[in-house]
């Protein structure tokens, strides 16, 4: 049985994961309208992944005797000055999510809820990957600078990242 404190904290994380999905969806829409098909597909894939993270939490809360809550979400920003700015926002958001997961782990230890602590380890590992991927993408964008040819290649390459990520996760 999950404690009320853990249930509330997990429900907050459910909201954060749902908002993450919406943020990536807004980024996908912006990129698609700008003709960045690879970036758009990458963001659509990330949006779905965040929704899957949310559902995993929902099922966990309900299975542990809690009640997962679906809450109101903040509308995400849907416009960016550049694709670089968009990826910088993505990286900042992933760091925020990591902090939130770390706080959840801390609460689970305070509450001596080792089942939740164990469950959250998957999220800890996932956030390490998410932050590393966002940093790598930003590094590539910084290498490109204002080179339109570089942007074309980046757009094509990031789509391959989506395909290879799906394949390595057994989703393809």
Annotated binding site: 17, 50, 53, 94, 127
Q: What span, in angstroms and rounded, lies between the C-alpha atoms of 26 and 41?
A: 12
Provide the annotated binding site for Fe cation: 17, 50, 53, 94, 127
Residue 34 — φ and ψ, nearest 5°?
A: -85, 0
Q: What span, in angstroms and rounded, lies between the C-alpha atoms of 23 and 50?
A: 10
Residue 1: count of CB within 10 angstroms of its CB: 9
Q: Which long-range contacts (C-beta less than 8 Å, at least 24 apart) are formed by 37-43?
A: 37/155, 37/159, 38/154, 38/155, 38/156, 38/157, 38/158, 38/159, 38/160, 38/162, 39/83, 39/155, 39/158, 39/159, 41/159, 41/162, 42/158, 42/159, 42/161, 42/162
Phi-psi region of 170 (alpha: psi -120 to 50; beta: other; left: phi over 0): left
């Amino acid at each position: 049985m999950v404690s009320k404190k853990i249930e509330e904290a997990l429900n907050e994380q459910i909201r954060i994961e749902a908002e993450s999905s919406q943020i990536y969806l807004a980024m996908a829409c912006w990129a698609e309208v700008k003709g960045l098909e690879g970036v758009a597909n990458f963001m659509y894939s990330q949006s779905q992944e965040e929704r899957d993270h949310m559902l995993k939490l929902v099922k966990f809360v309900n299975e542990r005797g809690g009640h997962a809550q679906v809450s109101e979400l903040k509308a995400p920003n849907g416009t960016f000055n550049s694709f670089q700015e968009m990826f910088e926002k993505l990286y900042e958001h992933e760091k925020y999510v990591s902090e939130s997961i770390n706080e959840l782990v801390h609460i689970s230890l305070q509450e001596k809820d080792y089942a939740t602590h164990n469950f959250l380890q998957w999220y800890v590992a996932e956030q390490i990957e998410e932050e590393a991927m966002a940093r790598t993408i930003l590094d590539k964008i910084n290498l490109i600078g204002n080179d339109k040819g570089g942007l074309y290649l980046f757009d094509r390459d990031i789509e391959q990242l989506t395909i290879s990520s799906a394949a390595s996760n057994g989703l393809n």
